[in-house]
Structure 1
Amino acid sequence: MRTWGGEQVEQAVAGAVALLRTATDRDWDGVMAGRLEWSCRRTAEHIAGDLIAYAGQLAGRAQSAYVPFEITLDEGTKNADVLDVIETTGALLAAAVRTTPREVRAFHPYPFRSANREGFAAMGVAEVLLHTHDIATGLHLAYEPSAELCEDVLTRLFPHVRPGSAPWPTLLWATGRGDLPGRPPVTEWRWSNPPAIPADRLTLEGVTPAAARDLSDGGDGGFPWVEGGPYEGTQGAAGMTVKAYEGGAYRPEWGMFVLVRREDGRAVGGMGFHGVPDEEGRAEVGYDLAVSARGHGYATEALRALSDWALARDDVRLLVATVDRANLPSQRVVTRAGFVAVREGEEEIFYELRP
């Protein structure tokens, strides 16, 4: 999977600044930015503030809250100078993204309290695209970023949004800035960075639709894998994730996780749910390990962590797992993780785990 982050931040910033430089002689303070309650000038300053804030979070690796600082422009700063600040803060975010290890996460509140370098890059790109649209609307400028950049943002920050016929109108609709035929207006929205669940030797890292598509196509999903990975079960689960996303049914907390070994950052397998819990609070789990990673207790450790995380939620009352009768190692995994066999079929054994 191609490396995503710094280059896209620079691309978004360059496109925004190039457009807005054509209108620096206009009154940005006296014009509202699109549907926002901010002026065009205030919105441009906000873009710069977001970019430096994300760079600071990622570089400092804050874990529990935002680093308490904000950007303040000098008195007398002109519109053209604000764009210089946006270029500078964009460069800082791009540099932070490029120099941060893939597995590092820093605090961000939405919705699972952290994001990795790709997440911060995607949020920075989203802020630039959307707020440039707001300013352009207020100043009556035509603006449409590349479809690829918009799709990249959607597949990384809006996994719960069913793709539309074109990425840019879909992104505008998803953030309450436009309409899509056949879909109700959006009045409240929030993007979604993938969850990460810690275990003793592993971290269960949520998979974005972008990573899932790459995995299902035979790629690595952006993860460095142990020998023999990703295994076919992980690739199959990734394909299911892509279908759920394309149908608007994907929810990241009930999707797929890649099991990443902490000692070296290498992925050893995949694990996750077959979908959201049903009306009775029942959710089904599945998992898969690369052959070279088997026999070390990774699957049991990960399943315990995932089960504890799920059963601590109010909307889950029962976890189930289905294992082939011939798959004795997998039967041992679910049993060690606390699951109990409740029924046997001709080819499968059915397990349950309750709070």
Structure 2
Amino acid sequence: MAEPIDPWPGEHVDLGEGRQVFVRSDSCPAPLGTRPRALYVHGLGGDSTNWTDLMGVLCTEWAGEALDLPGFGSSPPPPGEDYSVDGHSGTVARLIAAGGEPVHLIGNSMGGAAAVRVAAERPDLVKSLTLVSPALPDLRPRLVPYQMAASLFPLLGPAAYALMQRRPPEVRVQDMFATTYYDPSSVPTRRVMEALEAERERDTHPHATTAVLRSLRGMVAEYLRCGYRSLWQQASRVRCPVLLIYATGDRFVDPRMAARAARAFPRSRLVLMPETGHVAMMEYPERVGREVRTFLRSVDSRGSARSRGEQEAAAP
């Protein structure tokens, strides 16, 4: 693995109607020509720095932006404390639209669920969709997700979660890597220290616990949703090319869901990574980067060929 790089610089972006998010943008020296936009969306409990290394791998060809979803990282809470998947996907759609051009949309876990909704409901904003262990509905028993969902029970759940949050930040960070990585001993010391600093910063935000619990409640609601706007139904209506990256050592998203996802999305390519955890883009950024680079190049080349064809057809 390459030496870890510094987190990308960021700034707050006003999206109107009281919505503001913190967005990190890569500062790679761009080659000649304009780089297509790529927008990265983190999962529950994460933030924009989850994408630091993958953005570094891809930045010479794609202009990367990674946001902190409302209430996470350095972003303030959303209006009305709306932490539903609809709320998160609406924020992502606003950010894309503010940039004036469609993006290659890349999401992990809860961010993947929000990305699916954007791609299904706003196809004009999304050129391609890359999903890394997306949190698509799966009600089969699985220990870690069920432990998380237990924190939603009235009174007892939030109290238990608050008790967990009173553990030392060092313990919480260690637990986070133990559950999201296949091999937590592989985490570079620098990334551990950055995560510890972020955890201590999170402890100063009174909305941090609310953001996690209400976002989790929003995910549970999506798992139980039926009908036209269920995430699986929306997956079947995504028309852009889709890259699916699942991991055999994922303790949150069952890798057996990979086959269903490959069937659900009409234009999908599936990659199953062995001995990898829930955050493959953090654990193996170079390997994930190779897959994403090949995929995005194919999408962009088809788009360029189509544009040339349209220009030739329009020529007198």
Query: TM-score by structure 2 length?
Result: 0.27
Q: Which entry has the higher C-alpha Rg, 1 or 2?
A: 1
Q: When you count helix as a share of all residues, which structure comes out higher?
A: 2
TM-score scaled by length of structure 1: 0.25
The higher-RCO structure (CA 8 Å, 6+ apart) is 2
